[in-house]
Chain A
Amino acid sequence: MPKITFVCADGATREVIADLDQSIMEAALAAGVPGIVAECNGAAACATCHCYFESAYAAHTGEIGEHESEMLDFTASERTAESRLSCQVRVAAGMEGMTVRVPPTQ
């Protein structure tokens, strides 16, 4: 159960102990992290759970699928090399200490 820190757009931080069977989106919503909308609840259909993941943890966040990548090209906040849809990233033990930034708009 890794500890993950969410940094909101206003700079406020929230530490979340995430379950291993969750997605990052589910862990954030369960903890009440603001700024993640997730209208489709994890169906990768809406692109409103966009977050920026520290590149140092790229080995644990997994590959971006083609569908996810096409969605990320048109997110409300700009796509960077750290962009993922947080519903498509599973919590992994190696994420202990990882920081996830929540964008200003979804």
Chain B
Amino acid sequence: MTRVVIVGAGQAGSSAALKLRALGFSGDIILIGDEPIAPYQRPPLSKAYLLGKTTAEALLIRPVSLYRDQSIDLRPGCRVDRILPHARRIETSTGSLDYDHLVLATGARPLQLDASIGGALGNVFLLRSLEDVDRIRPAFVAGRRLLVVGGGYVGLEVAAVAAQAGLQVTLVEMADRILKRVACAETAAYFRALHARQGVRILEGTAVQRLEGSGPITWAHLSDREDLATDLVVVGIGVKPDISLASGTGLDIDNGIKVDQFGRTSVEGIWGVGDCASFPHYGERIRLESVPHAIEQAETVAANICGAQKVYVAKPWFWSDQFHVKLQIAGLNTRYDRVVVRQDSRPDVASHWYFGGERLLAVDAMNDARSYMVAKRMIEAGISPDPEAVRDPTTDLGSLLKSLAVVAVPNY
């Protein structure tokens, strides 16, 4: 019987397993994860779960019983030590396993502050896993002084949740502005103002020089010479793809495990999906850290294991929740040269449209589902609207989409 072994029981691994069964694959499916619980959703960790509004059980992607019903052999709490690609075998903490297809869905690991500057002190936390958040929650108490390191989406979400929970929040970003790597200055300004109104203190162009404390952290020394009395720190300075298993096996690595348009790595019988893998995308090689991508790439690989020869075409989108604002992002803004702001008359409703030349690349939509949905359709169909029409808040976006869709040629 054909056996598929999936290493990594996150969103990508879980999706690959479930899709294989949905496609009628009748062989063995073994889903191995190093965390002690069944696959769960990570996005709510920095939102509802940190706020205590949802339970660990509610985070599960599917109930444990569903894996059993689908004859998926789920093995949590199991570590994979080595791949022997010629023998098509892996060695794990609970013994060795033969495979016909091996799917690497090992995800990404959060970057840490170096121990030499106090990164290993007590009450200095990362936020990537359920276990991380379970460690944070006892320290996450109203009135405590929280320092968030990193002004990306995770850092901003933590800051928002903390302010809502009554903590005193300072967020530092080393770059000259928040969201520098992922969004335009206009979007950064929108979220800076939102956080300021809610009492979050944001210090841009400011780095942590040293964290100090005997046991738990007590002081943070910042590059602007400020010394900040601090009870806890959450570090959100990005992730790196988890390639340890792959590189030890000799798989090609290029900003993650290098896979082709079908999801194949450089070694026969081994596939790569989700946060850990880089893949070709319109002439470039990219890596995405997002749930929708993890699901869709994993489902494509599941189809290809069944012989479909399906090319994976990413349709990137992301979301973030901060205070009362839902941010939805369609597309990738890489190499934009212009941002068009569409300002709605409703408060806090706006969208920022990224263009590269004439071409629409991406949109950040804040409390603006209509702009998001229209832009996503346009980007996926290769439609670029007239920027001036987009800027005009009286333009009906639905009609604009319809008028352009008639003549558009899809780009995938």
Residues of A at under 8 Å CB distance from B?
A: 29-30, 32, 34, 37, 39-41, 43-47, 67-68, 70-71, 73-74
CB-based contact B370/A70 at 8 Å: yes
Q: Classify the secondary structure of A's interface with B.
A: loop
- Count, chain B residues at interface, CB 8 A: 27
Tell me the complex Cα distance, A34–B63, Å. 15
Partner of B291, one of A30, A39, A74: A39
Instruction: Choose among A32, A37, A73 the residue that contacts B66 (Cβ–Cβ < 8 A).
Output: A32
Q: Smallest CB–CB gap between A79 and chain B, Å?
A: 11
Return chain A residues, CB-CB under 8 Å to B22: 34
- Closest 7 A/B residue pairs (Cβ): A74-B373, A70-B369, A45-B319, A70-B370, A39-B292, A71-B369, A41-B41
Shortest C-beta distance, B55 to chain A (Å), equals: 10
Q: Kindly provide the distance from the CB of B265 to the nearest chain A CB, expressed in whole angstroms.
A: 25
Indicate whether B326 reaches chain A with its CB closer than 8 angstroms.
yes
What residue of chain A has the Cβ atom nearest to residue B317's Cβ?
A: A46
Contact of B326 with A73 in the complex, beta carbons under 8 Å: no
Residue B206 interfacial (CB < 8 Å): no
- Assess A40 versus B291: contact at CB under 8 Å? Given A32-B66, A32-B69: yes
**A73 vs B369: C-alpha distance when bound (angstroms):** 10
Given contacts A41-B44, A46-B292, 4 further A-B contacts (CB under 8 A): A30-B63, A30-B66, A46-B319, A47-B373
What's the nearest-Cβ distance from chain A to residue B289, in Å?
Answer: 15
Residues of A within 8 A of B398 (CB): 73-74
Asked if B43 lies at the interface with its beta carbon under 8 angstroms from chain A, I say yes
> Are A45 and B370 in touch, CB under 8 angstroms?
no
Which of A32, A34, A47, A67 sits near B367, CB closer than 8 Å?
Answer: A67
Q: Within 8 Å CB of B41, what residues of A?
A: 41
Q: Which residues of B contact A40 (CB under 8 A)?
A: 43, 291-292, 319
Is the Cβ of A67 less than 8 Å from the Cβ of B326? Answer: yes
Cα A39 to Cα B401 in complex, Å, equals: 24
Q: List 26 A-B contacts (CB under 8 A).
A: A30-B63, A30-B66, A32-B62, A32-B69, A39-B295, A40-B292, A41-B44, A43-B43, A43-B319, A43-B321, A43-B326, A44-B326, A45-B319, A45-B326, A46-B319, A67-B326, A67-B367, A67-B369, A68-B369, A70-B369, A70-B370, A73-B398, A74-B370, A74-B377, A74-B398, A74-B401
Contacts of B63 in A (CB 8 A): 30
B400 at the interface (CB under 8 A from A): no
Taking the complex as formed, is B70 at the interface, i.e. its CB lies under 8 A from any CB of chain A?
Answer: yes
Across the interface, which residues of A come within 8 angstroms of B374, CB to CB?
74
Query: Which A residues are in CB contact (< 8 Å) with B326?
Result: 43-45, 67
Asked if B328 is an interface residue, CB under 8 A from chain A, the answer is: yes
Contact between A30 and B369, CB atoms less than 8 A apart = no
Instruction: Please give, as numbers and ranges, the residues of chain B lying within 8 Å of A47 by CB-CB distance.
Output: 373
Q: How far is the CB of B351 from chain A (nearest CB, A)?
A: 12
Complex interface: chain B residues within 8 A of A39 (CB): 291-292, 295
Name A48's closest neighbour in chain B (CB-CB). B292
Q: In the assembled complex, which residues on chain A have CB atoms less than 8 Å from the CB atom of B70? A: 32
Chain B residues numbered 345-376 whose CB sits less than 8 Å from any CB in chain A = 367-370, 373-374
Question: Roughly how many angstroms separate A43 CA and B61 CA in the complex, as a whole number?
Answer: 14
Separation of A41 and B43 alpha carbons in the complex (Å):
9
- In the bound assembly, the distance between CA atoms of A67 and B374 in angstroms comes to 14
